Amino acid sequence: MAVANRYTPDLQALAARFTALAQREPEAAMNLWRTEVEPLPSLLSATVGRLADPSLSPSARATLTARPDGNALLLRWFLDRQDRPAFPRTQFFSSAVAYAFCEALIQQRGKPAASAALREGRVVLLGLRQDTSTLANKGRGVYDDYIVVLNAWGQRGHAHLFPATTEPTAQYAQRASVTASGARVDARYKDVRFKEAHGADVDKDGIRDAGRLAAGTYFFTELPRIFLKDRAFWASADQTVERDTDGDGRFTLADRDRIDRHGVGRTMYIHQGGPTTNPAVNTWSAGCQTVPQNYYPRFLASLGARPKFFYVLVDCR
């Protein structure tokens, strides 16, 4: 792959060539990595590694481990699995590159059933989340995440990126409510226009804690009723959420008793949110995954009729 095509390379082909060479010609495999993969932008070279890593045979992995450069590469891939992947902050240069990037993350972070569904050409969704405070935009939320539809209806091998939010907004936090004395339950929420309280009091301090869907793999089907005047989707099993127990608007290790495997049931849906055409954008999320109203018809069309799909949610940096 020529470096001149460094923004639109065939990443799957590069990964396949590397794994094939690693099996029989490790020197040639490492030369391929140095000359054709490492010169790529870091987002793309990381994608090749995520595609190649699980495809290596045990013997090829052992051969690479015996080489200093091969062992260093395998260590880099190991560390990549432990770290949050980089959030794609610029547009991909081709749909093929976008698909490869998403395929690699599903292969690396999703459950095997989700990877198998993708290989079979079935619709699979990928959520790409960057941490944002629930207090952002005066507690109305921002669409700074992506939900990607892979293998959209009738379009195998394509990736359709939709702006989305995967985090709750402070307007649904009990902390934003007003007490009988007229004060906010939590003064940090003074700029938030409170709607109604959602969440569960997992740390038993008398305040319901906002939650967001934990990174992982979920299976969704269509909700058997209209929600917010349109189709929506719910998980087939109870979901796991993270709770903001200290109320700072973020979901971190500082939150005591933060992992909640029972308090939300299946109620963190995928549904439409407020439009981006409204100057006062509102994502309508109390923890659900929402796509803007003005993008939602295209989102539904990409899923097709009566869809059932895996949804892999990934925390990015």
Residue 5: pLDDT band (50, 70, 90) is low
CB of 289 within 8 A of CB of 127?
yes
Q: What would the mean pLDDT of 258-282 be, rounded to a whole number? A: 95
What confidence score (pLDDT) does residue 90 get?
79
Give the pair of three-digit tokens for residue 163. Answer: 């702006």
Nearest to 264 by CA among 210, 184, 185: 210
Separation between Cα atoms, residue 101 and residue 114, nearest integer Å? 15
Q: What would the mean pLDDT of 11-31 be, rounded to a whole number? A: 97
- Which residue, chain included where needed, has tokens 């190991």? 78
pLDDT over 70 (residue 1): no
What is the percent of the chain where pLDDT is above 90? 94
What confidence score (pLDDT) does residue 68 get?
98
Nearest to 309 by CA among 128, 163, 151, 157: 151
Separation between Cα atoms, residue 151 and residue 128, nearest integer Å? 17
CA distances from 316 to 5, 85, 88 (A): 26, 5, 9
Residues 6+ apart with CB under 8 A from 218: 235, 236, 237, 239, 310, 311, 313
Residue 98: pLDDT band (50, 70, 90) is very high
What confidence score (pLDDT) does residue 162 get?
97
Give the pair of three-digit tokens for residue 42. Answer: 């870091």
Give the pair of three-digit tokens for residue 166. Answer: 């995967």
Q: What would the mean pLDDT of 177-191 be, rounded to a whole number? A: 96
Residue 100: pLDDT band (50, 70, 90) is very high
Q: 132-179 pLDDT, tens per residue?
A: 999 999 999 999 999 999 999 989 999 999 999 999 999 999 999 999
CB of 273 within 8 A of CB of 284?
yes
What confidence score (pLDDT) does residue 89 get?
85
Residue 215: pLDDT band (50, 70, 90) is very high
Predicted structure pTM score: 0.95
Residue 4: pLDDT band (50, 70, 90) is very low
pLDDT over 60 (residue 2): no
pLDDT over 90 (residue 299): yes
CB of 311 within 8 A of CB of 218?
yes
What confidence score (pLDDT) does residue 6 get?
61
pLDDT over 50 (residue 38): yes
